[in-house]
Structure 1
């Protein structure tokens, strides 16, 4: 029984540390803030290709989180990177990966694509 409490405590601690580290690495933007800056940045949709094809923010490039490690070289470190996914979880993980590789100007959309009310393109 004591093991279980140790494991639960470790998981809670890990989750808290990751939450605060992510807040330091990536700035979460409201839709209004996101809309104000994404045209001057690299706009990346980290959802899977089928999600992207079903609808994405106009001007976004699709680099799925599952391919990000292999395709990171496609992104410039000297320009801001605006990330989004469906709900905000994958874009947060993408930001962590990019931060570890030296990318610093990182932003993601609060609530993800499901909260987006702006222009959308469908394939």
Structure 2
């Protein structure tokens, strides 16, 4: 019996891998191979920083491409999409950073906008 510890991060999109266990006893190197089953639990189940969902503000006359806010988190396991039929905003797919696609004028444009952000498992996109 014993414990196995990881030296590096294993992505949840990896389905299987080979583990070679090497033991040394009394100077004799014993190597064996076997199939083991390891469940990788997705620790990225929190896709959004919900504490920031109401902190997305943009000053008027900011140039296109200005960062409004980031409400996601960096992950190699999932990707963010933005549903915006008016095409006023864009999103960085790796961390849900929302940016503007136009220059907004306080006197002309609406003061609030709702967009839908979709998060999807990279492996199943």
TM-score tier (shorter) = under 0.3
TM-score normalised over the length of structure 1 = 0.24
Structure with greater Cα Rg: 2
Q: Higher relative contact order at CA 8 Å, sep ≥6: structure 1 or structure 2?
A: 1
TM-score normalised over the length of structure 2 = 0.24
- Please state which structure has a larger fraction of its residues in helix: 1
